[in-house]
Amino acid sequence: MSDNRKYYYLKLKENNFDDDSIVLLESMQDGVLYSNILLKLYLKSLKHGGRLQLDEDIPYTAQMIATITRQQIGTVERALQIFLKLGLVEVLDSGTFYMSNIELLIGQSSTEAERKRAARLQNKALSAPRTSGGHLSDIRPPEIEIELEKELEKEKEIEMDKLKLSLQGYNYGNRYITWAIRNHGGYSAANALQFSQEQAAAYGWERYGDPEYVPHVLRYYSGGGLFAGLFGNQQIVTIAKSQLGNEGGQKFWSWWGFTQREEWCACFVSWCAEQAGLLQNGAVPRFSYCPDGVDWFQAQGKWQAAGSIPAAGSIIFFDWDHDGVSDHVGIVESCDGTTVYTVEGNFGDAVEENSYTVQSTSIMGYGIVGTK
């Protein structure tokens, strides 16, 4: 039985303990003990995005922290005061302790995901491996992934052709559908006009129906999935969430045009925007480099500063190392006023949901999504 439980881990750089705040901390009396408490708090906060909580409703108190770290309450209280002064911990408006810069340290995976990643690295053959039962395994080389993408595109084209035939049939009546399939194999703008002219002549009318009914309706269709773009910013969120669990991002960076793996968070955002019709109507740029996305939104006057409340569907940009250059990008799923919930590509090389405090110093700002 596969193990799909999710695990969280700390990603510590080799020079983590050379950071000024850690050096100052460990130079204090009982500093090494405080450093140990700090690491335990980081670990406890991982599954809640940096917030020290027992569950979604119960934040840890100093007494609870003393219990879980197996330290005296006085030691924990002194440690928390020091952490606050050094900027290692913040207190949210709700009173919950929040581990600063946790975004730089979070890693997450599942044993099943790790198994698949390891298998993909070992899989160098061009043919897909098979199980003992003769079925294709879930490990596919890039060539097969590309073929599947082509098949999906063909299916989308077929569905669009059916939609056009149905729309024109709605305007003309079912006789058009039968006539178009029998004589032309389906809808076309030319045969829609031909049918209108023939029917008008047969009945002695000046015109029959609207031969341009399909383009009249589809001008409200922006591209991507059927009726994408008709439902506001929520459409890009829905599309992004449909990709949760994708690992490796080949679907997104190959769509962009790369022939080998690239850091693909921006490719993911651009792909979702295209599927939602937001590239086509100029609401979101097509970008693969995060700073290019920032530049575009700022130049368009569609930039929202960090620390504010973003709308669902906004494009969230991050600056992990606080050097003024965006390192990562995702899509805002929702915001409750204190926490921003996101869907991000290339987070641990997968599409994942995450959350951050509105005041997180790693949030650089937001691109406002709206039609021109």
Predicted pLDDT at 300? 92
Q: Which residues pair with 342 in a beta bridge?
A: 332, 354
Predicted pLDDT at 138? 39
CATH number of 226-367: 3.90.1720.10
State how far the Cα of 85 lies from the Cα of 74, in Å rounded to an integer.
Answer: 17
Predicted pLDDT at 214? 79
Predicted pLDDT at 48? 77
User: Could you tell me which residues come within 8 angstroms of residue 57 by beta carbon, excluding any fewer than 6 positions away?
Assistant: none
136 vs 62 pLDDT, higher one: 62
Q: Quick one: what percent of the chain has pLDDT higher than 70?
A: 75
Chain centre distance of CA 20: 34
**Which pLDDT tens digit goes with each residue over 335-363?**
988 999 999 999 989 999 999 999 999 99
Find out whether 282 and 263 touch, Cβ atoms under 8 Å. Answer: no
Handedness of CA 63, 64, 66, 67 (dihedral sign): positive
State how far the Cα of 351 lies from the Cα of 229, in Å rounded to an integer.
Answer: 22
pTM above 0.85? no
How many H-runs (helices) and E-runs (strands) does the chain carry?
Answer: 13, 10
76 vs 223 pLDDT, higher one: 76
Predicted pLDDT at 147? 60
Find out whether 234 and 312 touch, Cβ atoms under 8 Å. Answer: yes
Predicted pLDDT at 98? 86
What mean pLDDT comes out for the span 46-67? 84
What mean pLDDT comes out for the span 271-297? 91
Reduced to 3 states (helix: H, G, I; strand: E, B; else coil), residue 98 is strand
Reduced to 3 states (helix: H, G, I; strand: E, B; else coil), residue 260 is coil
- The residue extents of the domains of the chain are 6-106, 143-218, 226-367
**Which pLDDT tens digit goes with each residue over 132-157?**
333 333 344 445 555 655 666 666 67
- HSE at residue 180, side-chain half, CA atoms within 13 A, is 26
pLDDT for 228 beyond 80: no
- b/e map 234-257, b = 16+ CB within 10 Å: ebbbbbbeebeebebbbbbbbbbe
Task: Identify the CA nearest to 244 among candidates 113, 51, 111, 48.
Answer: 113
Predicted pLDDT at 117? 47
- b/e map 195-211, b = 16+ CB within 10 Å: bbeebeeeeeeeebbeb
pLDDT for 292 beyond 90: yes
**Which pLDDT tens digit goes with each residue over 240-252?**
888 888 999 999 9
- Assign domain 6-106 to a CATH class: mainly alpha
pLDDT for 125 beyond 50: no
